[in-house]
Structures are given as structure tokens and as C-alpha cells.
Amino acid sequence: MTQKTAKKTAENRPERIPRASHGATPLTGRFATPGDKAISHRALILGALAVGRTSIEGLLEAQDVLATVAALRQLGIHIEQRDAAWHVHGLGVGGLLAPGKVLDMGNSGTGTRLLMGLLAPYNFTARFTGGPTLLRRPMQPLLDALAPIGTVASETADGRLPLALKGPKMALPLRHVMEAPSEQIKSALLLAAAQVAGMSTIVEPVATGDHTEKLLADFGAAIEVAHDEAGGATITINGLTELRPRRLVVPGDPSSAAYPVVAALIVPGSELLIENVLINPVRTGLIDTLLEMGGDIQFINQHEAGGEHVADLRVRSSRLKGMRIGAAHAATMLDDIPALAIAAAYAQGETVIEGLGELREQECDRLAAIAAGLAASKVTVAEGDTDLTIGGIGKVEGGGTVLSQGDHRIAMSFLVLGLNSQKRVTLDDTSAIAASFPGFVEAMTAAGARFEPVKGH
């Protein structure tokens, strides 16, 4: 059974798919990276705000992104897939329609936050709900940031989903200083500000990912970004500027590339070419760290695509060494910490990763899930409140069962762990992988990985 075709149970949840990994052959050949998840969400949304048809090639066709497609359709946007592209027929800035039913966002935290920002200026009620991992994620920081526009949240307990959002009769431009780095909150505010008359300003003491700013500019928004010497940025946007439709090509997702990269590093004899990877500097924290740990990773065929820097990665198996990773560095790659933990397990020497408190509020408590999975695989690990210490000895015993906690990144990372372990590593459930990388098992198997179903588990 593939990730795409996982059956649903009576509770409308994917059927559990236990899997084990062990005994990979050297990973070789070419690996096609699926489209970037962050850019896929944003391309769809900005296409909806343009007047006319936007064509998107390379869109990530995973559950999280398809939840955004379904929500936009409920807001009156016609979206079709044909000729190897997705076509979004936008209604223009301020042109979205009131949804006729609750917007079910699945387990997509990114899609939910972006759509809450998108709908914040509209004087109608939009209700949001989602799956079990999304319902536990805090939305209050975003709700607080949207309040100055005049947006009111209701029908919520502790700022979590389900909730209802209603914009004011006359939305106000905003000036917001980010209290903590958050690309999703910043992006939500920018989507709201693009639909509010007047000049809005967002100040980032620490600059975060700039995909939304780049795409807004590419669609014709009146947006300016000024960086300061301290590493921050001030973003100004003049709302209600008409956006023009575009033809976009989505580059490969570096977070999805993380798994074949780490796999090729830890499986002896591997030489894998991972194609079309986005190497925007704010998204290469993991690659930079793996290079510091001694990873043999080369950037080839570098080029520009849609305003983004893209390259192929040639990765060869390597002897990795442990290192200390400070909180500021870890903040640049929080989504990639599970994959990094696998590399650290195979490294020689201790790896300490600090500043991981935010991992406790993701799809699951990722910090606890990583520590438990490593311990089950006989890796020396210590879990702090906001840090993780991994005692690498250059090899992993394995042999245990890892609980994925319904988290796609935990599932993929620990399948990678088992590729070179002395005993097989078993995942209790890998169905969540479909959220971000539906073809993961097939793509990794084609490169030389060995996964097997687990009967009666």
C-alpha cells in the first residue's frame, strides 16, 4: 500500500502503516526532490489574490498543500490541474467569498496560519478546524498579532482550533514588531496587509524566511524590505495594490531533501545526486551544519528559478563528527532537527542542540519523540527542557520500535535511521508521511533503501 492510497478508517483517519527499515545498499543515482511545501502554499494563495490565471508547475501534491487547495475552493477560487501544472483563477485582492462551511485544514499548521492571515480583513465569519495534531497547536500568538487590524476570534478554547475568525467592516493597516522569530506569523500578517488600504509595517529583530516577500514582489505587490546590520528587517507593504497572475515553477523542498541527504551520508558507499533543491540561505541551516560535521556535500548546477536559488546536491557517504549547535543556529532549521538527530546518532562524538523549546508545540512534542526514538534504538540521548544531547559512537544498534506520534518528520527520520543500523528499526505507523512527501518510500527504495511492511504489529 502506498502513502497516497492509504485507506481511511471509520473515524476518517488514515489506516496505520507500520514499517521497518534495515540493510540498505549504497544509495546511488538521481533523486527527484518534491516541490517546496512553503512555496506551494504561498503560490496558491497569491494566485487566488491575483486577477486572472496563475499556473504553478512542481506544486507539492501532499495532504497539507491539498488542504489549502480545498480551502481556497471554498472561498470561491477555481483551481484545476492539467498539462502538468495547477491553474489558479484568482478573484483579485479583497475578492474572496465567504466560505459556506467550516474550513478543514487537516493537520497543516502552515496552511492554517496563512489562511487566517488571508481572511483576517474580511467582514465575514470563517470557521477553521483540523485533525488531531493541528488541534493541539497554539494559535494565540497569531490571533494577538491580527487583532490590531480589527479581526476578532471566537468559538475557541485557549486560542486553539476549532475557532471562528471575523474581520472588521473597515480593516486598519498595522505596525507590528515581532516578539519572536516566526515566518508563519509574519507571512500571515503580510497576506492580511496586502488587502488593507494604507501602509503596513512589520519589524523583524531577527529576519526569517522571505518566500512570502519574494512572491508578493513577483506578483506585483508594493512591498519593500530593508535589512539592518543587526540581522533584522523592516518590511513595508502598501495594501490594495492589484496583483498580476504569474507562471511559477516551485523548486524542490530542502526539508524533504534532508532525508536522502542524511541517508546518503550514513550508508557506506553511497553517492547520490539530489536534484532541484532550493538553497535559499534561510533554508540551508541543516546543509550548513552537516558540512560542519564533515559531510561530503557538493552544490552543482546552481541556477535561479522564480527568484530563488536552486542547485543539485551531490552527497557521498562520510564520517561525521559531533558538534555543539547553539539556539540561534538551531532556529534556522527547526523543521529539520529530526533529520539532524539521525546524522548525530551516526556521528563520532557528542552533539548538543540548544533552543528546541518550539519543537514541543509542533505536530507532536517533537523533542520528546526524537529522544524516545533514539533511546528505543539504543542511542545515548539526554532530553532537556529545550535542548537535546546525543552521544554518537559512529554506529547505531537499532532493534527497537519507534512511535511516530502521527508526525511525518519523525516517521521519515527514523526510517532513515534504520538504513545502516545493526538491527532493524521499526516504526509503529508511517501513514503521516503523506502530509508532506507522499512518494517518500518509493523514491528512497529506488535509490537503494530497504523498507519492509510489519505484519501483525
Residues with catalytic function: 335
Cα 444 from Cα 259, distance rounded (Å):
9
Q: Is 409 annotated as a binding residue?
A: yes
Q: Is 104 annotated as a binding residue?
A: no
Q: Is 16 annotated as a binding residue?
A: no
Side chain identity, residue 67: A
Q: Is 182 annotated as a binding residue?
A: yes
Q: Is 362 annotated as a binding residue?
A: yes
Q: Is 144 annotated as a binding residue?
A: no
Whole-number Cα distances in Å, 64 to 37, 131, 134, 290: 8, 11, 11, 27
Q: Is 42 annotated as a binding residue?
A: yes
Q: Is 137 annotated as a binding residue?
A: yes
Q: Is 270 annotated as a binding residue?
A: no
- Grid cell 474580511 — which residue? 122
- Grid cell 494577538 — which residue? 144
Biggest CA-to-CA distance, the chain = 63
Q: Is 302 annotated as a binding residue?
A: no
Binding residues for 3-phosphoshikimate: 37, 42, 182, 184, 335, 362
Binding residues: 37, 42, 109, 137, 182, 184, 335, 362, 366, 409
